[in-house]
């Protein structure tokens, strides 16, 4: 095994210099009158605050090594992701927040546990140094897919209302009447992660792999971890999309098999 190389530290001065990139983006917004200056400023401040806060939290969690604290952070990640999804999905007549939270919690916990306990072999399986970063990558990369799947489900049910209601009138239940729509929603949610599989290594070098290489890890070892990450994201995305759309679709129909969306 090759020795870990010295890591070049980034200090406050280097971080301050990076603000020039934001100023460049702000200048482009100002020149073209895009009105994004405030959003760039707020986003930059939040980036610094949130990441430094998370850094101190993780440092504490790694030191105390409590399983309940790891699970609390994991649940908090999913809660925040569901809140973001709720803001991205325009539908409000159908209560989808609770099914989304339950689906994400179950599917992401299953995938993350299998990866940490079986594939990585961390002992105990909830070791914070492995469980939290891997869970964070799953939640962060999958929530967009969930939002896309839900938005597609709602929009297609509305657009194809006449077709769905005709099938219901002919004796089909809600599953039969909306099966094609469900397939389309799940497929739409899975496409981004599948596209990432196609592009990784040729078009893009993902963040985890790049971070490990910059920290001195052997590139071949970093590649192995990245392969695990890419495949676990695909699994979590597909499982989460199937569970979420399946549960939420049921709420789009009344017990009398009537479409509730307007």
Q: Counting beta carbons within 10 angstroms of the beta carbon of residue 262, is it exposed (0 to 12), middle (13 to 18) or buried (19 or more)?
A: exposed
What pLDDT score was predicted for residue 70? 92
DSSP bridge pairs for 259: 253
Q: How many Å apart are CA 70 and CA 128, to the nearest integer? A: 6
What pLDDT score was predicted for residue 261? 80
Q: How many Å apart are CA 246 and CA 54, to the nearest integer? A: 34
Query: pLDDT tens digit string along 217-226?
Result: 788 888 888 8
On whether the CB atoms of residues 244 and 99 are closer than 8 A, the answer is: yes
Query: pLDDT tens digit string along 198-245?
Result: 877 666 666 667 777 777 778 888 888 888 888 998 999 999 999 999
Model confidence band, residue 158 (pLDDT cutoffs 50, 70, 90): very high
What is the value of pTM for the model shown?
A: 0.82
Nearest 5°: CA angle at 191, between 185 and 193? 125
Backbone angles phi, psi at 206, to 5 degrees: -60, 160
Judge whether residue 163 has pLDDT over 60.
yes
Mean pLDDT value of segment 130-138: 90
Nearest 5°: CA angle at 115, between 144 and 65? 100
Query: pLDDT tens digit string along 1-45?
Result: 444 456 778 888 988 898 999 999 999 989 888 888 899 999 999
DSSP bridge pairs for 204: 200
% of residues, the chain, pLDDT over 90: 52
What pLDDT score was predicted for residue 83? 93
Residue with tokens 């306990």: 117
């Amino acid at each position: 095994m090759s020795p870990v190389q010295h890591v070049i530290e980034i200090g406050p001065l280097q971080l301050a210099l990076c603000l020039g990139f934001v100023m460049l983006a702000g200048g482009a917004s100002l020149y073209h009158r895009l009105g994004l200056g405030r959003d760039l400023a707020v986003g930059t401040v939040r980036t610094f605050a949130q990441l430094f806060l998370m850094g101190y939290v993780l440092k504490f969690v790694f030191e105390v090594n409590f399983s309940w604290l790891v699970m609390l952070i994991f649940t908090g990640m999913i809660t925040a992701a569901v809140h973001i999804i709720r803001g991205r999905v325009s539908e409000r007549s159908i209560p989808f927040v609770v099914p989304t939270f339950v689906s994400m919690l179950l599917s992401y916990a299953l995938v993350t546990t299998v990866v940490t306990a079986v594939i990585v072999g961390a002992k105990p399986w909830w070791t914070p140094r492995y469980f939290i970063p891997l869970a964070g990558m799953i939640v962060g990369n999958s929530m967009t897919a969930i939002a896309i799947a839900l938005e597609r489900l709602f929009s297609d049910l509305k657009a194809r209302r006449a077709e769905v209601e005709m099938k219901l009138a002919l004796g089909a239940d809600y599953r039969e009447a909306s099966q094609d729509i469900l397939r389309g929603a799940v497929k739409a949610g899975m496409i981004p992660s599948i596209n990432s599989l196609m592009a990784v290594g040729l078009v893009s070098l993902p963040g985890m792999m790049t971070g490990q290489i910059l920290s001195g890890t052997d590139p071949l070892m970093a590649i192995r971890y990245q392969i695990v990450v890419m495949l676990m994201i695909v699994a979590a995305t597909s499982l989460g999309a199937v569970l979420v759309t399946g549960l939420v679709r049921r709420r789009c129909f009344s017990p009398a098999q009537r479409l509730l969306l307007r």
